[in-house]
Structure 1
Amino acid sequence: MKVIEYALTAPWEAVLLEPAAGSSTGVVVLAGSSGRVDRQRARLLAEQGFLSLAIRWFGGPGQPEGICEVPLETFVAAVELLRSRGAGRVGILGVSKGAEAALLTAVHEPRVDVVVAVSPTSLVWCNVGPGLDGRQRPYRSSWTWRGRPLPFVPLDDSWLPAVQGDGPLAIRGWYEQSERTFASRLDAAAIAVEKARADVLLVAGADDAMWPSLRYAQQLAARRQAAGARVEVVARDDAGHRPRLPGEGPAAPSTAFLYGGTASGDTLLGEAAWTPLLNRLRS
């Protein structure tokens, strides 16, 4: 399918990919803590007939350098842009911290019709990197809404990795220890996904080495089910933090982090999620 690509510089760096035949459905594509504009994933969706918008939501001009008190209005503006381009139905696809943003945006913005949360969390976490003031500590919320920080869970900096050395780290244990240390903050920081009007698809690997995304997905699903809201979880035991959608190829290796899973498991999880993802966006 022929796709027309537009580069945007305001209100954020972004790429808008529009099927030449037009589309009545739009999707906002959010990368995780890499901070990149995920052009490849946006193009993949545009080739399926969706008006696709991938944005830089931190690290750009006028934005915090890290994921620190990022306004959820950043993502509402992306939804509005797609609506202004004729999308009558809008979804948000996010991975990792981008999934956290996608879920929270849907909780606060009823014009989000679909959320696809890949390797999600069920909690609002603290900042990853510095805010607009250049400071990383003390910990602050990753997100704000209408100028107010959302309740969050800090990280327990006493955590030590199970394997010491200079190689890439598996930091899942850091998040698990932090939940235990700050157990009194979990309820306030829980993502109230049952309040979202959007349909929700959760994609998670049991072998995620970054954080326990399958447990988080199950917690999110339980909240939705208790409220009688639609939700689906797609999971595999041998997948990690970076499921790969059909056509994307293997994820690039990292010298900083261990993501868990196997290449085949990540690919198979992406394939299993592909049809439910497309069906929800087209529904």
Structure 2
Amino acid sequence: MRDGASVSEIVEHEVTAPWEGVLVEPAAGGGAGVLVLAGSSGRVERRRARLLAQQGLVALAIRWFGGPGQPAGICEIPLETFVAGVDLLRSRGVERVGVLGVSKGAEAALLTAVHEPLVDVVVAVSPTALVWCNVGPGLDGHRHPYRSSWTWRGRPLPFVPMDDSWRPTERADGPVAIGGWYDLSERTFATHLDTAAIPVERARADVLLIAGGDDAMWPSLRYAEQLAARRRAAGGSIRLISHDDAGHRPRFPGEGPAESSKTFRYGGTPHADASLGETAWAPVIDALRAAGAPSVSVSG
């Protein structure tokens, strides 16, 4: 919570169609709202939605894969899934709509803003600058051959595949850092990079990026810097908040440390991840509530 900010009373509504989710609203109502997207965990980000609603925002957190009628993995997910979330927020009287996503959810948030002009602001946490291939199976149950993570109007977006020759350097019985897999895949499929780049300069929305320099999942700070450079080269504004020692999972005030994983190394430390989240929290709330922030960078 920001210094001096009051916590609003909130009301929760379960959402069952067209996807599972929760809508959390300030009891007094709100003119700004946000669609909240998890990454490859696939969970409904209920706690994050509550924290945002306590700041006066109408927050909608949804399950966007792995639910009834959805692909089991992140494979050819229609961006219209997220546009429907924007439409639901608009139907609740929200005038300024944001999309806040983490990791693959940040990829979705940026792409939704590129294709849907009704998005007013994007908050991309641990983002990518590229469209990547599927993570897990599609509706057909198959993981391979690689396909795009996303579609728009029924057409898959150009993407970068993964180079499956990559092998981790860690012990086989411990969590793995897969950032090197993405680095290798970029080199192997260098001819795909231009067409798979996220054209953030086409988004009408304000853009706020949050990234840690010790991200072990993928190089989110490098990607955030690429997004910022691309946007600024086109004359657009963008804000980047970073922390050199934070990892893939920055934590906002009130969330507590992220759960440990037996599968992946995410990088960072609990202190650095919390520090980045605390630094970013006020800018996040300000960006979601009001007009876009000036084009500046903050690092720690």
TM-score in same-fold range (> 0.5): yes
Structure 1 residue 235 and structure 2 residue 248: aligned? no
Alignment partner of 2:193 out of 186, 192, 195 = 186
How many residues align? The count is: 283
> Which residue of 2 is the match for residue 107 of structure 1?
114
> Which residue of 1 is the match for residue 170 of structure 2?
163
Name the aligned partner's letter for residue 38 of structure 1: E
How far is 1:211 from its partner? 0.1
Secondary structure, aligned partner of 1:257: coil
The within-5 A match list for 1:38-117 is 38-117=45-124
> Which residue of 2 is the match for residue 145 of structure 1?
152
Structure 1 residue 134 and structure 2 residue 152: aligned? no
Secondary structure, aligned partner of 1:208: coil
> Which residue of 1 is the match for residue 228 of structure 2?
221
Secondary structure, aligned partner of 2:208: strand
Q: Percent identity?
A: 73
Name the aligned partner's letter for residue 146 of structure 1: R
Partners in 2 of 1:10 and 1:82 — Cα distance? Answer: 14
Alignment partner of 1:35 out of 13, 38, 42 = 42
> Which residue of 2 is the match for residue 245 of structure 1?
252
How far is 1:230 from its partner? 1.4
Partners in 2 of 1:165 and 1:60 — Cα distance? Answer: 31
> Which residue of 2 is the match for residue 269 of structure 1?
276
> Which residue of 1 is the match for residue 20 of structure 2?
13
Q: Deviations over 1:175-227 (max 9, x none)?
A: 00000000000000000000000000000000000000000000000011011
Name the aligned partner's letter for residue 71 of structure 1: P
Name the aligned partner's letter for residue 120 of structure 2: D
How far is 1:164 from its partner? 3.2
Q: Deviations over 1:109-161 (max 9, x none)?
A: 00000000000000000000000000000000000000000000000000011
Name the aligned partner's letter for residue 215 of structure 2: D
How far is 1:281 from its partner? 1.0
Partners in 1 of 2:44 and 2:288 — Cα distance? Answer: 21
Q: Deviations over 1:26-81 (max 9, x none)?
A: 10000000000000000000000000000000000110000000000000000000
When normalised by structure 2's length, the TM-score is 0.94
Gaps of 5+ in 1: none
Partners in 1 of 2:282 and 2:33 — Cα distance? Answer: 17
Name the aligned partner's letter for residue 226 of structure 1: A
When normalised by structure 1's length, the TM-score is 0.99
Name the aligned partner's letter for residue 279 of structure 1: D
> Which residue of 2 is the match for residue 4 of structure 1?
11
Partners in 2 of 1:107 and 1:28 — Cα distance? Answer: 15
Partners in 2 of 1:165 and 1:75 — Cα distance? Answer: 37
Partners in 1 of 2:172 and 2:73 — Cα distance? Answer: 25
Secondary structure, aligned partner of 1:251: coil
Name the aligned partner's letter for residue 91 of structure 2: S
Secondary structure, aligned partner of 1:93: strand
Name the aligned partner's letter for residue 287 of structure 2: R
Partners in 2 of 1:4 and 1:227 — Cα distance? Answer: 41
Query: What CA RMSD, in Å, does the superposition of the two structures yield over aligned residues?
Result: 0.5
Partners in 2 of 1:165 and 1:34 — Cα distance? Answer: 22
Secondary structure, aligned partner of 1:187: helix
Secondary structure, aligned partner of 2:131: coil
> Which residue of 2 is the match for residue 154 of structure 1?
161
Structure 1 residue 254 and structure 2 residue 279: aligned? no
How far is 1:2 from its partner? 1.1
Q: Deviations over 1:93-122 (max 9, x none)?
A: 000000000000000000000000000000
